[in-house]
């Protein structure tokens, strides 16, 4: 029995992991190989492609930083306070995860289009969400903020309540407890959530294309080139965007998880 159990965990489990890795890696490797070095160089030299990649990375990062200011404090409240409808509010924030993102775009458009009250107010202030960077911003935020919210709630929930109670007994107020104890101890989970929010926002297509086809983000450009010119024109842009995203994603994960290897020793 013990030998059979060892066979399962030492051979079958790694084999299943290998199949899973192949399922993920094979399409990515195939994309990069088929694009070729010349295709990547050509895409990198295209000013329109560079602008779309820069826009996508910048807006996704800006979205993450701005909504972190809104999300993190509320996540602490949800993790630490019992109040009516707490679970309902938690479920509402996670709705964007389960609805089709084209539906998310239509829902946002029904609030910010030019014939709505909010849209008219924005127009009066000289701001338009439709076919504007502001529209990209809200579309990315809507579909990606649950990732940061859930990571922050889990991070705060793992902070021992005893630490906060000791600080409270020493005269520390709630905000000081949040700033000096809860936030630092939950920071790793929060940073991981920010990385996931950034990555999810950057890759968003369905909601963005409905609100702001222009100016193009890279996912929209890939779709536009595929539908207009075919896969050969879309592949180099996709491969270049993939390489840049992988590089940034790996760097952010390293930054967000310092000391991980030291802890595992």
261 burial (CB, 10 Å; 0-12 / 13-18 / 19+) is exposed
Query: How far apart, in whole angstroms, are the C-alpha atoms of residue 76 and residue 153?
Result: 6
Residue written as token pair 């910010």: 112
Q: What is the pLDDT of residue 259?
A: 53
Can you tell me the distance from the alpha carbon of 251 to that of 11, in angstroms, rounded to the nearest whole number?
32
Q: What is the mean pLDDT of each run of 10 residues along the chain (265 residues)?
A: 65 89 90 89 93 96 96 93 87 92 94 88 87 95 96 95 90 90 94 92 94 95 95 94 87 66 43
Q: What's the length of the chain?
A: 265
Task: For domain 56-212, give the CATH number.
Answer: 1.10.3720.10
Q: What is the DSSP string of 42-75?
A: HHHT-HHHHHHHHHHHHHHHHHHHHHHHHHHHHH
Cα-based distances in Å from 250 to 141, 181, 199: 22, 28, 11
H or E element that contains 176? helix 174-177
Would you kindly state where each structural domain of the chain is located, as residue ranges? 56-212
Give the burial string for 56-69 (b: 16+ CB within 10 Å, else e).
Answer: bbebbbbbbeebbe
Nearest-10 crossing angle of helices 187-202, 47-80? 140
What is residue 181's predicted lDDT score, i.e. its pLDDT?
Answer: 93
Number of C-alpha atoms within 13 angstroms, CB side, residue 97?
A: 13
Per-state percent for the chain, helix, strand, coil, to nearest 5: 85, 0, 15
């Amino acid at each position: 029995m013990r030998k059979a159990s060892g066979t399962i965990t030492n051979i079958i489990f790694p084999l299943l992991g290998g199949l899973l890795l192949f399922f993920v890696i094979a399409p990515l490797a195939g994309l990069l190989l088929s694009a070729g070095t010349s295709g990547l160089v050509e895409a990198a030299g295209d000013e329109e492609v560079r602008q779309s990649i820069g826009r996508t990375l910048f807006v996704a990062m800006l979205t993450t930083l701005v909504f972190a200011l809104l999300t993190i404090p509320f996540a602490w409240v949800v993790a630490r306070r019992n109040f009516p409808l707490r679970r309902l509010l938690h479920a509402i924030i996670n709705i964007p995860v389960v609805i089709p993102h084209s539906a998310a775009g239509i829902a946002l458009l029904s609030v910010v289009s030019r014939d709505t009250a909010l849209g008219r107010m924005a127009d009066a202030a000289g701001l338009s969400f439709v076919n504007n960077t502001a529209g990209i911003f809200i579309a990315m935020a809507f579909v990606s903020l649950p990732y940061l919210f859930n990571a922050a709630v889990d991070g705060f929930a793992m902070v021992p309540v005893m630490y906060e109670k000791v600080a409270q007994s020493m005269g520390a107020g709630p905000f000081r407890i949040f700033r000096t104890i809860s936030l630092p101890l939950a920071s790793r989970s929060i940073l991981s959530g920010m990385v996931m929010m950034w990555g999810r926002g950057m890759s968003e297509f369905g909601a963005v294309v409905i609100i702001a086809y222009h100016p193009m983000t890279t996912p929209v450009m890939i779709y536009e080139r595929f539908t207009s010119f075919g896969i050969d024109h879309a592949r180099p842009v996709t491969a270049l965007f993939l390489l840049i995203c992988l590089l940034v994603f790996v760097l952010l994960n390293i930054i967000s998880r310092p000391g991980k290897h030291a802890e595992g020793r």
